[in-house]
Structure 1
Amino acid sequence: MRFVGNTVYTEDQLKRVLSIEKGDTYNGKLLQERILNKKNPDANDITNLYQNNGYLFSNVNAVETRTHNDTIDFDIRIIEGPLAYINSVNVIGNDKTNDHVIYRELRTRPGDKWSKENVIRTIRELGQLGFFDPEALQPDIKPNQADGTVDIEYKVVEKGASQVELQGGYGGGSFIGTLGLSFNNFSVRNMFNKKAYKPLPMGDGQRMALRAQFSKYYQTYSLSFTEPWLGGKKPLAFSASISHSKQFLYNWYTYDVDKSQSFNITSISFGLAKRLSVPDDYFVLSQAVSYQYFDLNNYNTGLFTFGDGQANNLSYTISLSRNSKGFNPIFPTYGSEFTVSGKFTPPYSLFEKTNYKTLGDEEKYKRRTVANTTTPNGSYVPAGTYLDASGNPVEGNDYRLAAVDQGKIDQKRFKMLEYYKLKFKGDWYTSLTKIGDQPLVLRSLAEFGFLGAYNSARGIVPFERFYLGGDGLANFTMDGREIVQLRGYENYALTPVNQNGEQIGGTIYNKFTLELRYPITLKQSASIYALAFAEAGTSYASFKDYNPFNLKRSTGLGLRVFMPMFGLLGIDFAYGFDEAPGRTQPSGWQTHFIIGQQF
């Protein structure tokens, strides 16, 4: 192969991009893709090498010059043309969204050198906003070769950016209702402008969500707000949220509620997320500070090791993510998303004088009686007798209490929660082929989580644990737990249990998913796609028991429907091949309904 007409790039540079050497087996399809890959607009090919660096008018073709025996010779003929600069940039079609919300996302500006990559990135950024129909985003490129300029016009079609969640059902002897409002293109500055209510002040790209859920034994309320461009100058996102939940002791057999036994949680958090420029501007560094106050009042259910008292959870979370998923957030066809995060509390035990190894020993021993006394039932007890917690004599020389109030000890141990949590998630999307006009997409997902303790004597907290299995939906979580989806099993069924068969949550888990997706329609009114999946995962109560290869497996089929007004709805039919902890039979067929789950 010979390169003809190249002056901007050397032959060695072009050969590295082409990656086809003399003596390789001829593959016409591969040769064409290395010159111009029509399936992948972001491909590393020779045409994009020129198009991404100002050469809008360039043209690259492979011409067969000679065939002899089993050998073919080619000329890669290149017409570079002049550099092109952007003359004007316009956006049309936005009636609700304010211009500044769109223009701050544009990667193409007047005076810039032409870059196909920046045009594609702009389409992606506009599609990721969620305010426009991603399938209808069209850049109109108007080149003017006479003066070496180009005009760009982006055509957008707005869609409903707000969602309503309204659910009602009856189960376990109680009506359960949910009301949620999500405004994804809100305008705080126009809240007091009566003319802006159409029916709500919209157009500034802010997000506000309100949610309430209630039944006769629990209530939860939350409010969250996000400003994606704090100050309006740079992509620095500010977020804040506050929530409160209350649960009463509920008898699942008689359906009685005891309001004298309750558990309350109040939470507040603030976060900042900054888009980075190094290694590239797909990276985002996020940081958040959160505080949770747990108040238990005679709430002895086995959920925690103590039923009375308070616990405080002050934590700092930092995460680094890279999101290059395709322009349609509902149905990405290429790209990936990686997230590594750590959540940390202050190491209180480093600054305290408490010896957690002997914590509670003072409650395990009682002094001898110094005078003659009587037991609670009136029996005579001489001086010098050891008594247990109930005031009854302890026989023999063992003066340890027969029953220790472990709840009181743990309440002291966990008054200020101390832990660290590490997580990783990798999500890939690959277009395999086309069936008709639509792509068949493979989604590959891997997850890992670990909850640890700074001080082994203090132990791992009973909060913030991982609960694996089921549809991944969380109606209400009372202990900061994280719900991890693994279809084909009942909700939380793959979560470790204690000696009494009670779920205690995992401190470590891993999960893998392969999912084939095919779109039925991607129209603005409704996006519908079918999927087939295989999943596997495992979780353990402690790291010493962890076996990442002893996985619980499942496979199945599903359907997803996304409507702008109501969000995501879906159903999965899955078969679990393995038995859950405490069970002796495979899980078998399970049906999962998905509401508001991630795409």
Structure 2
Amino acid sequence: MKTNISTFFIALFFIFSSTAIAQDIEFNNGKKYVLGDITVTGNTTFSPQTVVTYSGLRKGEEITIPGETISNALKKLWKSNLFSSIDIYLVKTEGDTAYLEIVLVDLPELNEVTIKGVKKSKTETLIKDNKLTKGVKVTQNLLATTQNYLTNKYRKEGFYNTKVTINTTEVVDSIQKSRVNMIINIDKENKVKVEKIAFNGNDKISDKKLRKAMKNTKQKNPIRLLKRSKYIKDDYKEDLVSIIDKYKENGYRDARIISDSIITNNDNTISININLEEGEKYTFGKITFVGNSVYTDQQLNSVLRIKEGETYNGVELKKRIADDSKPDADDLTNLYQNSGYLFSSINPVEVSADGNVIDMEIRISEGKPAYFNNVTVVGNDKTNDHVIYRELRTRPGQLYSKLDVIRTIRELGQLGFFDAQLLTPNFKNPNPNDGTLDMEYSVVERGASQIELQGGYGGGGFIGTLGLSFNNFAIKDIFKKEAYKPVPSGDGQSLALRLQASRFYQTYSFSFTEPWLGGKRPVQLSTSLSHTKQFLYNPITRDADKSKRFNITGISVGLAKRLSVPDDYFTLSQAVSFQHYNLKNYNTGLFTFGNGYSNNLSYTIGLSRNNTFTDPIYPMGGSNFSVSAKLSLPYSLLNSIDYKALNEERDALDPTDTDDFKRMGEIDQERYKWLEFYKVKFKADWYTRIVDKLVIKSGLEFGFLGAYNNDRGVIPFERFFVGGDGLGNYSLDGRESIALRGYPNQSLSSQDGGTIYNKFSLELRYPITLGQSAKIYALGFIEGGASFDNFRDYNPFTINRSAGLGLRIFMPAFGLLGIDFGHGFDALPGQTVKNGWETHFIIGQQF
């Protein structure tokens, strides 16, 4: 009889069931043999040489049967996860030589997977998540892991009664391999809703307040919209902790949950019963600091902000010492870490609780101040090192500051060259004894260049647009052939080219920005050049009459400097711009002169402050405000023209008379030869994180266009046009398009535009994904605004209101794209019925 040696190791490894008769052999326990031939049989596709080599058995070696050598061979073969059955037989012995046989059965390979019970669109993701690729070995572990993953996945989504069954069937074909098809049945049933949450033993805190403390698990309430009632086990466990935290916040530090139970109701809902023991209420007693030498007790108390006699609040005490939810929180840990004490530790210890009054010791181990040793950046393949290093707030030899690390991450994110969600500061080689550490910033680059290629119908014909924007340009390499990959990049400069054309107009623009002029200071140089041709519509030919045109040529140069006072989030900007308006046979309502020109030379000064958090596409905190004034020279003070007399003469003329109309044009030409005006604008946005990544953006805008000389009047250029998507297409006269969704473009202003406007907005945002390849978020908004022809009519509370929903998609190659569905609640000027729904497509801008 051939002997199954593996049965000797059943207690250590596996149960073997196969036996077969070969010949009668007297089996001797613990006898030594020289290993002869090893044969491999069974249902396996692996070659005998491969199996023997992997087992570790070698012909000619001395082995003990039974012994450790056979045991190790079994271990190696099982660890391969390639076989469903493994047996090692002693076939025969000849003197001191033993002959072995390894009998194997291969694990079946996966042929195809069928998933039932979910939408077909979801199956591919489920197969990928569980690595159910064709050819993978089907082990019991694979089946169990897949079943557990799917069960937990849908239970986390509220399908508490989810059942997953997995069956395999053999594939019969000409291939010799053992293969199986896998059929996965997912029965999610209905989502389990919580009918009622009941508390027992709570006298000090009401059921209502305890339910409110449970942020994730809610009982059914038909009027609640944002948080649906569903049971998810992990979330429920978190909520039990939140209940105890609620007691700790109110002084009941000994509160505990005695038991909790879940009752299944007949209508597929559940009820939750929670039994509590509240304990007694405590107050803070004396709080003393131990081990502090850097800061006085008074300074530490000003940060701790807890006084003797206040209700004991363990949750707040923990936050005042180290608030993990806010990296820049005003707490004791950050107080030390922002002063260089990276290796400090702060521990609160209760030293007495007599009479329900808790005396505390805040024990502080300050350690040595820490200094940065090496500061490095990894992950930047395109962006040159100096572009990154000039933004770093942490330098070698500098005292460690957590605030500087956080600020560095923000500055790198604001550059727009890296994925802000993947920026990571890595602490390397911290040495408490020497007081040093290395800092490594890990960045992941994203495409900084964008292309805009679009076509559409508007303005009486087809409009084509081609735009190229290079946001990490390197102009110094523009003549280096090897630098075109596809364009010279890496120096952080911006270069943009844009062409837009239709039958009726053509627009060309070029702009360039250098953010660090000279490379030493954050002084930004910006330049732009544009030219527009507008042709008059011929109603007879229904085409553009190119003999009648209106040209605008503009150039601007600006400097913006980052300030250090009041803080370095402030930027002071200044710019000088010039626009030349030239008309030839262009008679419209805009001017009374069809031949002539106007010049617009102006100076703009602005102050802005932007401390929004890290990701410029989806800020989750901070604010951004700007105020600016655009001023022309007071020409009416420098010349001797009597504009009052000109106005009186103009008012006396008859526009229907040819000579009078010509004279009116001459007067207007004189008034607008050099444009005289001042323009003040203010804009502010605040971003507030509500919970997780849910963010509220609130905004306020105001603009006013005025005249130095009322007799000269407000110019017909530079005006405000409110309504629609805010895109500036077909705006040729220096006007500003102000977005107000829910209404047609520029519909809420008079024909000539407003001289004053205001706008208020509130937007709720939540991200669908903030991945590297695309950032997508949904939004809901309410907003209102209006424009007015003069300051006398201005009323900030007379606004056009709207609300709606939208979606934004940011892809590095194409910039920001979006769609909004807005409902206008008020009528357009001159109408009596509310405007209703409007659809807006957003390209290349962000509200």
TM-score (norm 1): 0.89
2:675 maps to what in 1? 417
The correspondence for 2:502, drawn from 203, 211, 215, is 215
Change (3 A) 1:19 1:508: farther
Residue 469, structure 1, aligned to residue 723, structure 2: yes
Query: Alpha-carbon deviation of 1:299?
Result: 1.9
Change (3 A) 1:537 1:80: same
Q: Please, which moves more after superposition, 589-598 or 171-180?
A: 171-180
2:308 maps to what in 1? 22
Cα distance in 2, alignment partners of residues 253 and 573 from structure 1:
38
Residue 114, structure 1, aligned to residue 400, structure 2: yes
Kindly indicate whether the alpha-carbon contact (under 8 Å) linking 1:265 and 1:293 is maintained by their aligned counterparts in 2.
yes
Change (3 A) 1:74 1:293: same
1:287-342 Cα offsets, whole Å, 9 max, x none, are: 10000000122222223454331110000001111111111111111111111111
Instruction: Give, as a single letter, the amino acid of the residue that structure 2 aligns with 1:336.
Output: S
2:792 maps to what in 1? 544
Query: Alpha-carbon deviation of 1:243?
Result: 0.3
Instruction: Give, as a single letter, the amino acid of the residue that structure 2 aligns with 1:339.
Output: S
Query: Alpha-carbon deviation of 1:253?
Result: 9.6
Residue 279, structure 1, aligned to residue 566, structure 2: yes
2:819 maps to what in 1? 571
Instruction: Give, as a single letter, the amino acid of the residue that structure 2 aligns with 1:408.
Output: E
RMSD: 2.0
Query: Alpha-carbon deviation of 1:24?
Result: 3.8
Cα distance in 2, alignment partners of residues 235 and 48 from structure 1:
28
Cα distance in 2, alignment partners of residues 404 and 194 from structure 1:
58
Residue 509, structure 1, aligned to residue 795, structure 2: no
Change (3 A) 1:341 1:252: farther
Q: Please, which moves more after superposition, 57-66 or 444-453?
A: 57-66
Instruction: Give, as a single letter, the amino acid of the residue that structure 1 aligns with 2:812.
Output: P
SS of the residue corresponding to residue 489 of structure 1 reads coil
Kindly indicate whether the alpha-carbon contact (under 8 Å) linking 1:220 and 1:476 is maintained by their aligned counterparts in 2.
no
Query: Alpha-carbon deviation of 1:70?
Result: 6.3
Change (3 A) 1:353 1:151: same
Cα distance in 1, alignment partners of residues 540 and 397 from structure 2:
72
Instruction: Give, as a single letter, the amino acid of the residue that structure 2 aligns with 1:428.
Output: W
Kindly indicate whether the alpha-carbon contact (under 8 Å) linking 2:368 and 2:433 is maintained by their aligned counterparts in 1.
no
Cα distance in 2, alignment partners of residues 416 and 67 from structure 1:
81
Instruction: For 1:152-551, list aligned pairs within 5 A.
Output: 152-171=439-458, 173-250=460-537, 255-359=542-646, 405-434=663-692, 439-495=693-749, 497=750, 503-551=751-799
Residue 83, structure 1, aligned to residue 331, structure 2: no
SS of the residue corresponding to residue 122 of structure 1 reads helix
Kindly indicate whether the alpha-carbon contact (under 8 Å) linking 2:804 and 2:823 is maintained by their aligned counterparts in 1.
yes
Query: Alpha-carbon deviation of 1:360?
Result: 5.4
Residue 62, structure 1, aligned to residue 348, structure 2: yes
Residue 558, structure 1, aligned to residue 816, structure 2: no
1:502-559 Cα offsets, whole Å, 9 max, x none, are: x111111111111111111111100001111111112101001000111211111111
Query: Alpha-carbon deviation of 1:68?
Result: 5.6
2:844 maps to what in 1? 596
Change (3 A) 1:573 1:72: farther
Could you tell me which runs of 5 or more consecutive residues in structure 1 were left unpaired when the two chains were aligned.
Answer: 367-387, 392-400, 498-502
Instruction: Give, as a single letter, the amino acid of the residue that structure 1 aligns with 2:816.
Output: L
Cα distance in 2, alignment partners of residues 236 and 80 from structure 1:
39
Q: Please, which moves more after superposition, 441-450 or 67-76?
A: 67-76
Cα distance in 1, alignment partners of residues 315 and 466 from structure 2:
53
SS of the residue corresponding to residue 292 of structure 2 reads coil
Cα distance in 2, alignment partners of residues 334 and 54 from structure 1:
26
Change (3 A) 1:44 1:253: farther
2:112 maps to what in 1? none
1:369 maps to what in 2? none
Change (3 A) 1:249 1:68: farther
The correspondence for 1:3, drawn from 286, 289, 295, is 289
Change (3 A) 1:59 1:460: same
Change (3 A) 1:390 1:103: closer
Kindly indicate whether the alpha-carbon contact (under 8 Å) linking 2:643 and 2:711 is maintained by their aligned counterparts in 1.
yes
Query: Alpha-carbon deviation of 1:78?
Result: 2.2
Query: Alpha-carbon deviation of 1:18?
Result: 2.5
Kindly indicate whether the alpha-carbon contact (under 8 Å) linking 2:378 and 2:441 is maintained by their aligned counterparts in 1.
yes
Instruction: For 1:95-114, list aligned pairs within 5 A.
Output: 95-114=381-400
1:381 maps to what in 2? none
Instruction: Give, as a single letter, the amino acid of the residue that structure 2 aligns with 1:511.
Output: K
The correspondence for 2:317, drawn from 31, 48, 52, is 31
Higher relative CO (Cα under 8 Å, sequence separation at least 6) belongs to 1
SS of the residue corresponding to residue 578 of structure 1 reads strand
Q: Which has the larger radius of gyration?
A: 2
Instruction: Give, as a single letter, the amino acid of the residue that structure 2 aligns with 1:424.
Output: F
Cα distance in 1, alignment partners of residues 399 and 708 from structure 2:
53
SS of the residue corresponding to residue 643 of structure 2 reads coil
Report % sequence identity: 65
Kindly indicate whether the alpha-carbon contact (under 8 Å) linking 1:172 and 1:252 is maintained by their aligned counterparts in 2.
no
Instruction: Give, as a single letter, the amino acid of the residue that structure 2 aligns with 1:74.
Output: M
TM-score (norm 2): 0.64
Query: Alpha-carbon deviation of 1:257?
Result: 1.7
Change (3 A) 1:261 1:73: farther
Query: Alpha-carbon deviation of 1:22?
Result: 3.3
Instruction: Give, as a single letter, the amino acid of the residue that structure 1 aligns with 2:686.
Output: W
1:81-118 Cα offsets, whole Å, 9 max, x none, are: 11001111011111111111111111111000001111
Kindly indicate whether the alpha-carbon contact (under 8 Å) linking 2:367 and 2:432 is maintained by their aligned counterparts in 1.
no
Q: Please, which moves more after superposition, 466-475 or 164-173?
A: 164-173
Cα distance in 1, alignment partners of residues 330 and 752 from structure 2:
49
Change (3 A) 1:526 1:308: same
Kindly indicate whether the alpha-carbon contact (under 8 Å) linking 1:316 and 1:345 is maintained by their aligned counterparts in 2.
yes
Query: Alpha-carbon deviation of 1:359?
Result: 1.0
Cα distance in 2, alignment partners of residues 135 and 193 from structure 1:
34
Cα distance in 1, alignment partners of residues 473 and 449 from structure 2:
9
Kindly indicate whether the alpha-carbon contact (under 8 Å) linking 1:364 and 1:404 is maintained by their aligned counterparts in 2.
no
Q: Please, which moves more after superposition, 90-99 or 286-295?
A: 90-99
Kindly indicate whether the alpha-carbon contact (under 8 Å) linking 2:468 and 2:498 is maintained by their aligned counterparts in 1.
yes
Query: Alpha-carbon deviation of 1:363?
Result: 6.8
The correspondence for 1:135, drawn from 421, 425, 443, is 421
Cα distance in 2, alignment partners of residues 298 and 90 from structure 1:
63
Residue 580, structure 1, aligned to residue 834, structure 2: no
Cα distance in 2, alignment partners of residues 551 and 170 from structure 1:
31
Query: Alpha-carbon deviation of 1:39?
Result: 2.2
Query: Alpha-carbon deviation of 1:365?
Result: 8.0
Instruction: Give, as a single letter, the amino acid of the residue that structure 2 aligns with 1:446.
Output: L
1:235-259 Cα offsets, whole Å, 9 max, x none, are: 1111111000001112589742222
Q: Please, which moves more after superposition, 515-524 or 11-20?
A: 11-20
SS of the residue corresponding to residue 645 of structure 2 reads coil
SS of the residue corresponding to residue 118 of structure 1 reads helix
Cα distance in 1, alignment partners of residues 375 and 298 from structure 2:
36
